[in-house]
Amino acid sequence: MSHSPKQSSELEHRRLLKLAREYRSQGYDVTLHPTPDELPTPLADCSVDLVASSEEKTIAAEVRTKENLKLNGTEDIRRIAESVQQVPGWEFELVITNSRKKAG
């Protein structure tokens, strides 16, 4: 195995915190790892990394490394995106973060 899941999750976590700062700086109210109770019914069984809310819209975001996306497939991402589309005023954002390997 060329990468460790721990490394991927650490990369995802750092990117998630950066994303949260970006949304907050744009005036969004940000919730990291919302519980099912904090999500609308269509999303209650979805694992979403971040929810950013403003008066105009709410964004549900998922952060993945390229490796994790390949390993886990895109089926869960598709399911989350379809669930988000059922909620008026909500948008889905998938953020891909790369492991920092130097190009040879």
| Residue 102 covered by a domain | no
| Residue 31 covered by a domain | yes
| Residue 103 covered by a domain | no
| Residue 49 covered by a domain | yes
Structure tokens at 95: 């953020």
CATH of the domain at 20: 3.40.1350.10
pLDDT confidence band for 73 (50 / 70 / 90): low
- Identify residue 19 by its one-letter amino acid code: L
What's the pLDDT score for residue 2?
Answer: 47
| Residue 104 covered by a domain | no
| Residue 88 covered by a domain | yes
What's the pLDDT score for residue 69?
Answer: 79
Q: What is the mean pLDDT of residues 35-46?
A: 93
In angstroms, the CA 89 to CA 55 distance is 10
Q: pTM for the whole thing?
A: 0.85
In total, how many domains does the chain have? 1
